[in-house]
Amino acid sequence: MAKKIREQRTASKRNRYDVDEYLDEKVSLFNIRRCLRYLAKTKMGLGMALLLSILANLASLTGPLFMQRAMDEAIPNKDMGLLLTMALYLGITIIVAIALGAVRNVLVARAGAVIVHDIRFDLFSHLQKLPFSFYDSRPHGKIFVRVVPYVNSVSDALSNGIINFVIEVLNIVFIIFFMFRVSPQLASVTILGLPVLAIFIWSIKPIQRRAWQRVSNKNSNLNAYIQEAIDGVRVTQAFDRQERNSGIMSTLTNERNNEWMRAQYISNTTWVSTETISQIVFSFVYIVGVYHMHPMVSFGMLLAMGNYVWRFWQPIINLANIYNTFITAMSYLDRIFDTIAEPVKIKDAEGAVEFPFVRGHVEFKNVSFSYDGVRKVLNNVTFDGHPGESIAIVGPTGAGKTTIVNLLSRFYNVEEGQVCVDGQDIMKVTLKSLRSQMGIMLQDSYLFTGTIADNIRYGKLDASDEEIQRAAKLIGANGFIEKLPQGYQTPITERGGGISQGERQLLAFCRTLISDPRILILDEATSSIDTGTEQLVQEGIRTLMKGRTSFIIAHRLSTIRDCSRIMYVKDGQIAEAGSHDELMDKKGLYYQLYWTQHAEEVSL
Ligand SMILES: Nc1ncnc2c1ncn2[C@@H]1O[C@H](COP(=O)(O)OP(=O)(O)OP(=O)(O)O)[C@@H](O)[C@H]1O
Ligand SMILES: [Mg+2]
């Protein structure tokens, strides 16, 4: 409830990138417990590093004691032997502290690398399983920022941060011990400053945490926008929107900077206060030492004590800094664990069965569906597709064509009604066995960075070069591939840089053909292809359809004329179904669509 109110309160200050960014006031204990799971694997390394740090610090803390003896005993008594021994001891403690510190750094770095790997691996694996609905609802840059920079910061806080925290707390204990050894009176004066600082830090803590959370939110917005701007750079330039985009970028950067400055200001206040309190205490020790206890306080004692007092405040200042890093990391961690906790809605049901061989009998039984739980996009859709049949889905834009194939591919769960393949409800079979026998070409045929051969091989990881070439030949893509200077080894990028839209689609066909699916789904396969390539693509589609149950969504009716059945979808319902000739005889919606398109083609 409190969370909801906070969300509403901050809603007015938000921009359109502020999705899933609520500010949680408390460090979640649940999340800290989850962190411990990641630390468990590195506990040996971290434990060892901790031990080395303790030894290094103890070695370094004995230094002032040798200094004190040198000042109070060796120098007044002109004892050269003792002076050299003390100098040697001091030198040894310094070397030991440095050597142990170096080994410790290696161990911590190693542990950090393991933590980064494990958190990122879990996060990435989870992201790969998350349903389309998760990706529908947020800018992708916001997801990216969690996987890379956030994980880096968190792992650093978990490896280095935790060790340093323990070390600094122990340091304080050790230093207090050594101070009392030198002079209990002066030690008591030093410790008096501690409660003042504790009260101050405790009161500023929640403000600081919220400030850092805001910075992380604004950073994530900025990332989301930059990613979008890079992805959409072609559209930006086409519409000459560069200036306006730079304006948005500048606003988002300023928002981030303002929050950052605020957070820095708060952190700085903590630092300044700690420094001030430490300096006041430092002076007090000298004043008390020199004026009030002079006969009892030797010069060496005061020197050693000064050194310890200085060292006493250092870990406290460090702790305040560690706390700062830690709270930022905790807000990142919230985001990371939120994502890992995101439910995998599309998963195997309990007792899901394997589908060893799909014949390709597809049934929709009274299927209704809504993306947002409010507006029905499909309304009581029922049809039956027989093995080997080719079914075309046509209809106006937004009618629900893609939704039908989304449900058949189980990218979304069917909520009302049933989708069956070979008489088996697809909710009750394993996703792997279902999808491995489906060839799905979505509206946007995405290619990955790699060579042309790599992209075709995506459909079947163990495909040989010969298989790849055979698939390309069958689809009719070999012509253009062989003309490229590097042929099948031509590198392409995820945007398909270097090849045309039609060629991208031909490659996507090859990828689908090589996976040899039992059920074929093509969404808008020919929408972006010129007439010349369309001939090729149509041949490709025909090759693909052979011997499989096929669902083809195409706006160009020439592509689907030969399908054994055409379904006309309108407002989420199947308004007409039949062969091309049947529907033309019926003179209904399909007939109108056909003649409208025919007229357009003639007029071209
Ligand atoms: N991810 C989504 N979240 C919410 N609503 C959606 C989503 N995808 C589609 N819709 C809505 O569902 C309806 C049907 O969309 P669908 O993509 O199935 O249409 P379509 O027939 O494939 O259209 P087109 O021919 O333009 O591809 C549309 O009104 C659309 O706005
Ligand atoms: Mg569509």
Q: Report the nearest atom of ligand 1 relative to the CA of 404.
A: 18
Residue 478 located in a structural domain: no
82 and 137 share one domain: yes
Looking at the fold, whether 134 and 265 belong to one and the same domain comes out as yes
Q: Is residue 11 part of a domain?
A: no
> Which of residues 341, 375, 392 is at a domain's end?
341
Task: Tell me how many degrees the CA angle 42-45-49 measures, rounded to the nearest 5.
Answer: 130
Is 332 inside any structural domain? yes
Last residue of a domain, one of 288, 310, 341: 341
HSE-up (13 A, CA, CB side) for residue 448: 9
Average pLDDT, the chain: 85
CA distance linking residue 601 with residue 581, whole number of Å = 20
Mean pLDDT of 9-24: 56
pLDDT of residue 133: 87
* Closest listed ligand to the CA of 371: 1
pLDDT for 540: 78
The reply to whether 167 and 272 lie within a common domain is: yes
Whether 327 is in a domain gets the answer: yes
| Per-residue confidence (pLDDT) for residue 539, from 0 to 100 | 77
- Mark whether 263 and 412 lie in a shared domain: no
Give the position, in ligand 1's atom list, of the atom nearest the Cα of 136. 1
Q: Select from 377, 442, 569 the residue to mutate for testing ligand 1; criterion: most ligand atoms less than 8 Å from CB.
A: 377
444 phi and psi angles, rounded to 5 deg = -105, 110
Read off the pLDDT of residues 509-518 as tens digits, 9 standing for 90 and up: 899 989 989 9
For residues 288 and 369, membership in a common domain is answered with no
Which of 371, 404, 411, 573 gets mutated to test ligand 1 (max ligand atoms within 8 A of its CB)? 371
In angstroms, the CA 589 to CA 583 distance is: 8
Q: Which of 318, 34, 30, 314 is nearest to 160 (CA)?
A: 318
Q: Are 486 and 479 in contact (CB under 8 A)?
A: no
Q: Which of 375, 401, 441 has most ligand 1 atoms within 8 Å of CB, for mutation? A: 401
Same domain, 281 and 411: no
The whole-number average pLDDT for the span 569-578 is: 94
Identify the pLDDT of residue 399.
92
Residue 463 within any structural domain of the chain:
no
Same domain, 282 and 430: no
How many angstroms separate the alpha carbon of residue 404 from the centre of ligand 2?
Answer: 9
Residues 296 and 415 in one domain: no
pLDDT tens for each residue of 415-431: 899 999 999 999 999 99
| Percent of all residues in the chain with a pLDDT value above 70, rounded to a whole number | 92
Which ligand has the nearest atom to the CA of 406?
1
Domain around 107: 30-341
Q: Are residues 246 and 367 in the same domain?
A: no
Q: Classify residue 416: in a domain, yes or no.
A: yes
Q: Give the torsion sign (CA, 179, 183, 184, 190).
A: negative
Domain boundary among 341, 366, 401: 341
* 364 or 203, which is more confident: 364
Q: What is the CATH number of the domain that holds 223?
A: 1.20.1560.10
CA nearest ligand 1 atom 3, residue: 371
Span 271-280, average pLDDT: 80
Ligand 1 centroid – CA 442 distance (Å): 13
The total number of structural domains in the chain stands at 2
With vertex at residue 445, the alpha carbon angle to CA 441 and CA 451, rounded to the nearest 5 degrees, is 115
Do 86 and 223 lie in a common domain?
yes
- Residues by chain with Cβ below 5 Å of ion ligand 2: 402
Instruction: Write the CATH number for 595.
Output: 3.40.50.300
Residues 423 and 572 in one domain: yes
Tell me if 451 is assigned to some domain: no
Q: Residues 68, 304: contact at Cβ < 8 Å?
A: yes
Distance from residue 364's CA to the centre of ligand 1 (Å) = 18
Q: Is residue 375 part of a domain?
A: yes
The band of 5, judged by pLDDT with boundaries at 50, 70 and 90, is: very low
Share of the chain above pLDDT 90, in %: 34
Examine the domain organization and report whether 308 and 401 are in the same domain: no
Contact status, residue 123 vs residue 340, Cβ threshold 8 Å:
yes
* Gyration radius from the chain CA atoms: 35
Determine the pLDDT at residue 283: 82
Instruction: Report yes or no: 310 and 282 within 8 Å, Cβ to Cβ.
Output: yes
User: Pocket around ligand 1: residues whose beta carbon is below 6 Å from it?
Assistant: 136, 371-372, 377, 395, 397-403
Specify the higher pLDDT residue, 523 or 289: 523
